[in-house]
Amino acid sequence: MKIEFPEGPAGIHPPTAALARILRQKGVLDPVSEKPYSEAMLLGIGGGLDTGYILFQFKHLPNPMLVLGFRNQWNNTQVFLENIAERLMLSVDFYEFEESNTAQNALQETLKQDKLAIVWVDKAFLPYHHLPESMKGFINHPVTVYARDGRLWRLYIDDMSTQPFIVREKTFTAARENLSQNNFLTMVYHESNDLTPLELREAIIQGIQDCATQLTRPLKTIGISNLETWAQQLVDRQNRLGWPQLFKEQKGLFPTLCTLYESIKLNGTGGFALRKIYADFLHEAAGVLNNPALNAIAGQYLQLSNHWASLAENALPSKIPAFDRVKNLLTKKYQAYQKHDTDSYVKMITDLSALGKKINANFPLNSYETYQLFERLSSQVKLISELEMSAAYRLRDVSRR
């Protein structure tokens, strides 16, 4: 079965990549550039950036689970997409269902009408990701369903690759069902209203104001202020949540450092914790709004993107051969996935697993060197916190003019 699937790059960030490809396939153009909307523009209009840090500890998991967020509404993709749709006057509907058969039938009907749907799934249930069983129930992930082969009961999925993945409908429904708290959440795209250049400018302004408001909110548990908490926990020897206490025996430290690296460099952030793509948005916005002050702030976010990338690199110092090998394998793994090179992707996963077992069994840093690593990371997080706050307040000042 052949389907219409727009050519183009794999994308950077799951929800913006999914929506950008949908709009490109439907021929929706930016009214100013008269080209397809960029992911950067969609990210900015949706509200841009935020920061989140959580280190979960679950009894049934062998290691703590690090979660980092970098986008506005990073823990609520539905609201983020609702904001984009409202500001760009896209006709979409969000649906929830109480049980799997109803949800599956509704998706089938949507596809029969040649409509596209972004569907929330448990990422670890999708077989082509090859994630461990222990990850099931933790990764809320949006993908786009492009078509259904009713004869073979298969679905064609857009999921951050240059080609669609083919998944059995039963498997896909199970991946939806495992996120019971989302009630089989689905966003159906209907059409786009003709947006004028003036309306696009207003959408951009709303997105910038939303971002500035979110970043400068004085909250201690989320946002930029949470970076201070993270910096403190990295070196706190007394607090049970401090990294020196959590990783006193170094158990679980390696996978946590890998997650830190992947979250910033590889996993849906464009290599720079979304800061570079947001800088790209500000450059675009500066031209559309004829506001050169945004270019200066874009420069601040480019600087921040380098600091975030440096933090990720230093989490797995390249001077340690095993860590350098891990980073190379991780990069190749993500590249293979994006190119739809399944064989190479699986090989990288196998190689990483074998190398990870060796590192876990014989961690290459002693206790003193490990604490030095924590100190370096803490200092970097503190600096990032200061730079983030400076950029956020400058963004707020410009958005008020």
- For 319-328, the CB contacts below 8 A with 24+ separation are 320/364, 320/365, 322/355, 322/358, 322/359, 322/364, 323/364, 325/355, 326/258, 326/352, 326/355, 326/356, 326/359, 327/261
pLDDT reading at 220 higher than 70: no
What is the number of structural domains in the chain?
1
- What is the per-residue pLDDT across 363-400, written as a single tens digit (0 to 9) for each? 999 999 999 999 999 999 999 999 999 999 999 999 88
pLDDT reading at 221 higher than 70: no
pLDDT score at 157: 97
The token pair that represents 225 in the structure block = 């202020």
Region 187-191 average pLDDT: 98
- Which DSSP category does 29 fall into? B
Per the CB < 8 A criterion, the answer to whether 291 and 285 are in contact is yes
pLDDT reading at 219 higher than 80: no
pLDDT reading at 250 higher than 80: yes
Q: The CATH number of the domain where 5 resides is what? A: 3.90.70.30
- Residue 328 counted as domain residue: no
Q: How far is residue 63's CA from residue 263's CA, in Å, rounded to a whole number? A: 17
Q: How far is residue 333's CA from residue 349's CA, in Å, rounded to a whole number? A: 7
Q: How many residues does the chain have?
A: 401
3-state secondary structure of 37: coil
The token pair that represents 46 in the structure block = 């949706």
- Residue 147 counted as domain residue: yes
- What is the per-residue pLDDT across 326-372, written as a single tens digit (0 to 9) for each? 999 999 999 999 999 999 999 999 999 999 999 999 999 999 999 99
Q: How far is residue 3's CA from residue 25's CA, in Å, rounded to a whole number? A: 12
- Residue 215 counted as domain residue: no
pLDDT score at 294: 98
Region 90-96 average pLDDT: 97
- Residue 10 counted as domain residue: yes
pLDDT score at 5: 87
- Residue 48 counted as domain residue: no
The better pLDDT of the pair 19, 224 is held by 19
CA distances from 74 to 51, 190, 256, 332, 398 (A): 8, 25, 20, 26, 24
Region 254-271 average pLDDT: 97
pLDDT reading at 60 higher than 80: no
pLDDT reading at 179 higher than 90: no
What percentage of residues in the chain have a pLDDT greater than 70? 98
pLDDT tier, 6 (very low <50, low <70, confident <90, very high otherwise): confident
- Residue 30 counted as domain residue: yes
DSSP string, 55-124: EE--TTSSS-EEEEEEETTTT-HHHHHHHHHHHTTEEEEEE--SSHHHHHHHHHHHHHTT-EEEEEEEGG
The better pLDDT of the pair 62, 3 is held by 3
- Residue 42 counted as domain residue: no
pLDDT tier, 320 (very low <50, low <70, confident <90, very high otherwise): very high
CA distances from 152 to 174, 251, 340 (A): 17, 45, 22
Rg (CA), the chain: 21
The token pair that represents 291 in the structure block = 């506001």
pLDDT reading at 84 higher than 70: yes
Average the pLDDT over each of 62-66, 194-198, 266-270, 383-387 and give the range with the smallest value: 62-66
Region 231-241 average pLDDT: 94
User: In the Cβ-directed half-sphere of 382, how many Cα atoms lie within 13 Å?
Assistant: 11
3-state secondary structure of 165: strand
pLDDT score at 138: 87
pLDDT score at 63: 80
pLDDT score at 20: 97
What percentage of residues in the chain have a pLDDT greater than 90? 88
Q: How far is residue 143's CA from residue 172's CA, in Å, rounded to a whole number? A: 11
- Residue 84 counted as domain residue: no
> Mean pLDDT over all residues of the chain?
95
pLDDT score at 180: 63
Residue range(s) defining the domain that contains residue 162: 1-37+90-192
